[in-house]
Structure 1
């Protein structure tokens, strides 16, 4: 997945999370699920970013 695709996915999840949290509450199962999905997407983005840095430094 490209960096821009990851960022777009993160932004969509963030907006969905905010909207769901406002409508259904912060402890609603759907809000929590979206929060977990956002965490995973951000962790994957950071992991891939770290690998890019390591690979560019190895050259």
Structure 2
């Protein structure tokens, strides 16, 4: 009986998710994360200490 209940819950959840995605404005999480990572890199670059152009690996 547990298998049927789990399968039924999965089907109902999938159906509701498809309906919501088609009929409501749902944000694109992948694009949102990509934008936030770009902003974080900009902030990191603006607060980075100026160096002499040499990295620790290239002595």
Between the two structures, name the one with larger relative contact order (CA 8 Å, sep ≥ 6). 1
More helix by share: 1
TM-score strictly above 0.5: no
Under a length normalisation based on structure 1, what TM-score does the superposition of the two structures give? 0.41
Larger Rg computed on CA atoms: 2
Under a length normalisation based on structure 2, what TM-score does the superposition of the two structures give? 0.41
